[in-house]
Amino acid sequence: MNIQDLLLKDAMIMDLQATTKEAAVDEMVARYKEIGVITDDALYRKDILAREAQSSTGIGEGIAMPHAKDSAVQRATVLFAKSQNGVAYDALDGQPVYLFFMIAAPEGANDTHLQALAGLSSLLINPQLVADLKQAQTPEDVQTLFANAQAVKDAKDAKEEAEEAAKAQAAAATPANDQKPFIVAVTACPTGIAHTYMAEAALKETAVKMGIDIKVETNGSEGVKHQLTADDIKRATGVIIAADKKVDMPRFDGKHLLNRPVIDGIKKPAELIQKTLDEEGSIYHATESQSSEEASADKKTLWSRIYQDLMNGVSNMLPFVVGGGILMAISFLLEQTVGAHSTTFIFLNSLGNNAFNFLIPVLAAYIAISIGDRPALMPGFVGGYMASQATASVLASKSPAGFLGGLAAGFIAGWVIVGLKKVFKNLPQTLDGLKPILIFPVLGLLIVGFIMYFMINPVFAQINLWLSTFLTHLGAGNALLLGAILGGMMSVDMGGPFNKAAYTFAIGVFTTTKDGSLMAAVMAGGMVPPLAIAVAASLFKNKFTGNERKQALANYVLGISFITEGAIPFAASDPLHVIVSSVIGSAIGGGLTQLWQITVPAPHGGIFVAPLANHGLLFVFAVLIGTFVSALILGLWRPVAKEAL
């Protein structure tokens, strides 16, 4: 696939009208939807804005490269857009953006797509091409400019590969004091589409101008390319890490290393190279230093770090929850017709139970690995398993520590390993190899096991038992209040900490008691916001712009599927009206599920698992009532859209 296959003429906007960042994104996303490149503009826009929230893709010099890879994209495409007056895009140099390259990549993009996208990204480092694009008048002009630039780059790449191979042979035969300075680098960005390859190109071109040999490893969506060998690292003067995500760091032990954001690789390549040559980077020690991802975590608040660690555990646990929970629910549905002793029921039920047995160990293990990296995986997993079992000792309890104990196990295991790394950081280098294979596994497991066995399990077993007893004897009024609170929490931040806290609490109760009543409350609460926005946009058309009405249609599907995040773009642009109305409707929906004593024995699925509920129709009514209350509040309260005035 060449550049022309990506730069569709129909997708180009030669006179972008937007003057703000949000309007520019909307205008480009609308063009993608218009020509059929994306099927769900709300989802694609959400992912574009999520990437922008990490760091602006306005890279300076009048260029922005917003990009996203998701299931809404039908084919890999680059939308070229040109603004005559410039757009205030929060670019890193603070200047307006005139040239836009919105990259859309399919969720399952193959290597051919990704290599073409990488090639396009690296072309934009050429200042002459950028200057020519600013003067382009037609889509044909744009395609011609890129075709010519690609031809020049292909010839240059072929020449460089031959020279690199020759240099490697010459270096092996040349005395060290006669060799040109040599450094290595790694570039990576969260999505691995644009910045990764632009940083690579900038570093390589600058190194040529400075008379320096460099090898750049890219950690992009197409995988690791130009991987650094042990010999490369050994003979390098120093290492440049230009990355916004975690990369393989232990291999650089003992080397002078600069760890910077990927944008510095694009904007400050000469500075990074010179500082590396001058050995200004601190010497990296694998047991003391941190990867790029971990280093950035130091700047976060304590709550942000805790939330990140918790979400790492929850996100890895969810496949077990969804897969096991839905299969168990289906088995209960079939039990009514095929009987409890049928092979079909026993197979599905045992398969679901087997998946559920891993919930707490996986939760604890991945919380631990988020804190203490790979050495924390095993003690976290074992600590989680201990939390899932009733204690067999003088401290015996009929109830396991459960979900809460698993949370504790994950955080304890992670921080135990962090502590052990600090305790043994001055171990002689000859004994360094003992850390991962002996010291961390044995001492980590011993300490975590001791804390779990004698402290966490006994305490949390009693808390878990009390919680189960409390929920079992919960009065109708208290149940209604709890359902309303959990339902409302699902709408407070629509996928953020409050939403995840409510959902995690319901999962914990579900795994402990096998009672799906609170699952019904959070599911109803989470379905209301996107459905309410879709209904409000259909009933109160003058309160929404034309583009918003189009986006709202997708929320019918997202809402019935229990994907609350479909409401995020609307909440971001109008938080007061959208969030307040959503919380009210979600609280009503969640409360009604408890008033009508509805249980949903599945942790996900929305309307599609309603048949598994004990009162499926009442569950649907609870969602509909909450939806229409929220939609009416939003529609009546929200001001008329500007384009309708």
Rounded Cα–Cα distance for residues 101 and 24 (Å): 11
Query: Three-class SS string for 52-97?
Result: HHHCCCEEECCEECCEEEECCECCCEEEEEEEEEEEECCCCCCCCE
Residues present in the chain in total: 645
Q: Which of 67, 113, 195, 604 is catalytic?
A: 67
Radius of gyration of the chain (CA): 28
The DSSP output letter for 340 is T
CA-based torsion, 454, 455, 460, 463: positive or negative: positive
Q: Which of 189, 195, 577, 604 is catalytic?
A: 189
Within 8 A by CB and 6+ apart from 214, the residues are 182, 183, 184, 185, 203, 204, 207, 273
What count of other Cβ atoms lies within 10 Å of the Cβ of residue 231? Answer: 11
Q: How far is CA 352 from the centre of its chain?
A: 27
Rounded Cα–Cα distance for residues 358 and 380 (Å): 13
Rounded Cα–Cα distance for residues 427 and 488 (Å): 52
- CB-based contact 379:413 (threshold 8 Å): yes
- 213-220, strands of its sheet edge to edge: 223-225, 213-220, 182-188, 239-243, 256-260, 282-283
List C-alpha distances in Å: 148 to 46, 126, 311, 615.
34, 12, 46, 65
Question: Which residue's structure tokens are 């205008």?
Answer: 27
The DSSP output letter for 220 is E
256 carries an active-site annotation: no
Q: Answer left, alpha or beta for residue 494, where phi above 0 means left and psi between -120 and 50 means alpha.
A: left
Rounded Cα–Cα distance for residues 342 and 339 (Å): 6
The DSSP output letter for 217 is E
615 carries an active-site annotation: no
SS3 495: coil
By annotation, the residues acting in catalysis are 67, 189
